[in-house]
Amino acid sequence: MTGAGDAVARLVRDEGTRVLATLVRVTGSVDLAEDAVQDAVVRALETWPRDGVPANPRGWLLVAARRRAVDVVRREAKRLGKEADAMPPIDPSPDPVAVRDDLLRLVFTCCHPALSLEAQVALALRTLGGLSTAEVARGLLVPEATMAKRLTRAKQKITQARIPYRVPSAEELPGRLAGVASTVYLIFNEGYTGRVALLAESVRLARLLATLMPDEPTALGLLALVLLQDARRPARFDAAGLPVLLSEQDRSLWDVSLVKEGVELVGRALRRTPSQPNPYVVQAAIAACHNLAPSYPQTNWDAVISWYDVLLTVQDTPVVRLNRAAAVAERNGAAAGLALVDGLPGLADYPWWHASRAELLHRLGSASALAALERAVETGLPEAHVEHLRRRLGLP
pLDDT interval class at 221 (50, 70, 90): very high
Burial 322-348 (b: 16+ CB within 10 A, else e): bbbbbbbbbeeebeebbebbeebeebe
Q: Which residues pair with 237 in a beta bridge?
A: 243
Average the pLDDT over 214-237 and give the result. 95
**Torsion angle in degrees (nearest 10) through CA of 286, 290, 291, 294:** 150
For the segment 102-130, what is each residue's pLDDT rounded down to a tens digit?
Answer: 888 888 888 888 888 888 888 888 888 77
For residue 270, give every residue at least 6 positions away whose Cβ sits within 8 Å of its Cβ, in sequence order, or none.
281, 285
- pLDDT of 267 strictly over 80: yes
Percent of the chain with pLDDT over 70: 96
Of 42-56, 174-188, 238-252, 289-303, give the range with the top mean pLDDT.
289-303
How many C-beta neighbours within 10 Å does residue 172 have? 12
**pLDDT tens figures, 279-288:** 999 999 999 9
pLDDT of residue 315: 93
Q: To 5 degrees, how large is the angle CA 324–CA 327–CA 333? A: 125
pLDDT score, position 85? 64
The phi and psi torsions of 243 (rounded to 5 degrees) equal -65, 145
Residue 186 reports pLDDT greater than 80 = yes
Higher pLDDT, 348 or 78: 348
Evaluated on CA atoms 376, 382, 383, 389, the torsion sign reads negative
Distance CA 58, CA 22 (A): 11
Q: Which whole number is the average pLDDT over 156-162?
A: 88
pTM of the model: 0.78
Instruction: Name the more confident of 362 and 110.
Output: 362
pLDDT at 81: 67
CA 130 centroid distance within chain: 13
Average of per-residue pLDDT across 351-377: 96
Structure confidence at residue 170 as a pLDDT band (50, 70, 90):
confident
pLDDT for the residue numbered 83: 63
State the average pLDDT over residues 21-37: 87
